[in-house]
Structure 1
Amino acid sequence: MNHDYKILVVDDDPEDHFIMQEYFTEAGLGDAVVFRENGEEALTYLAALPTNGLPALIVLDLNMPVLNGLQTLTMLKELPDLRHIHVVIYSTSNNDHERQQCLEQGARDYFVKPFTLQDGTFMVERFRQMLQDELRQSS
């Protein structure tokens, strides 16, 4: 399936890459996903893309080396060419303070890493809805 958008997943855990790829593939979005291992790699990747090649959605792990998810989110929202991209946090942390910080910095949503197929399917369906809303707004 060909898409008019990309999804950037930023997570330092290869197992989470595999799990996220499975969730997106199951939802028919597997070919739209690109992975990077930390915030610095993600920002470098994004800086090299043309404006029309930017992802529609960025999924950030909260706890990563180099630049964590909150630091990366803050930097993304400060950059004029990137601040429009929908960003969601995907983390093992269920801490309300961290969740609130991320939402205040501009995260569109905050998901606690799912451990069941049902949780993963729900999360990807929410992502799909965000992407569909984005495509409708840009049409």
Structure 2
Amino acid sequence: MKNIRCIIIDDDPDDRELFEIALENSGHPFNLLPLSSGSKALEIFTDIEAGDIPDYIFLDLNMPLLSGKECLQEIRKVSVLHITPVIIYSTSSYHLDIAETKEYGATHFLTKTPDVDRLSVILGKLFSKTALPYELS
């Protein structure tokens, strides 16, 4: 089984750590690149080559300087990332955030949970390509 290449873009180090633990428990091998800001992600994505394309990008909405929505719009302008799944990973569950991110090209919307086991199950379903709605739970 090949490693799933994931990038998480989140300014909160605790959320990045919880996400990594959930990945470890998901039952799938992975490589994770944690990034603390949208601007750092865009620097990487500007020079990304076809062989370096991640399988999934997880993106927080509420970040300083460059919001998740702004970052999502920029990610969707990078041609090699056009079909890469971008999953919004946010504390928000506000219906307008969900609708806007879908309009901007997000693949799924996942509201953050402190329950690492629940997050591991959700990630496992996502990686197994189990049919999932836009809002993951």
Q: Which TM bucket (shorter chain)?
A: 0.7 to 0.9
Residue number in structure 1 paired with 2:97: 98
1:43-122 correspondence to structure 2 within 5 Å: 43-122=42-121
Residue number in structure 2 paired with 1:136: none
Name the Cα RMSD after superposition.
2.0
**Where does structure 2 lack aligned partners over 5 or more consecutive residues?**
132-137
Q: Using the alignment, how far apart are the partners of 2:127 and 2:41 within structure 1? A: 21
Q: 1:29-65 CA deviation, whole Å, 9 max, x = no partner?
A: 4641111111110111122332111101100001011
What's the CA shift for 1:98? 0.6
Residue number in structure 1 paired with 2:35: 36
Q: 1:75-106 CA deviation, whole Å, 9 max, x = no partner?
A: 11122222111101010011001110001111
Residue number in structure 1 paired with 2:21: 22
Residue number in structure 2 paired with 1:13: 12
Q: Using the alignment, how far apart are the partners of 1:107 and 1:126 within structure 2? A: 18
**Where does structure 1 lack aligned partners over 5 or more consecutive residues?**
134-139
Which amino acid is 1:112 matched to?
T
Which amino acid is 1:73 matched to?
L
**1:123 correspondence with 2:122:** yes
Give the number of equivalent residue pairs. Answer: 131
Comparing 118-127 with 60-69, which one deviates more in the overlay? 118-127
What's the CA shift for 1:115? 2.1
Q: Using the alignment, how far apart are the partners of 1:39 and 1:9 within structure 2? A: 10
TM-score norm. by structure 2 comes to 0.85
Q: Using the alignment, how far apart are the partners of 1:117 and 1:43 within structure 2? A: 28
Q: Using the alignment, how far apart are the partners of 2:56 and 2:83 within structure 1? A: 10
TM-score norm. by structure 1 comes to 0.84
Q: Using the alignment, how far apart are the partners of 1:109 and 1:22 within structure 2? A: 20
**Identical aligned pairs, as a percentage?**
24
Which has more helix, going by share of residues? 1
What's the CA shift for 1:67? 1.2
Structure 2 residue matching 1:78: 3-state secondary structure: coil
Which amino acid is 1:100 matched to?
A
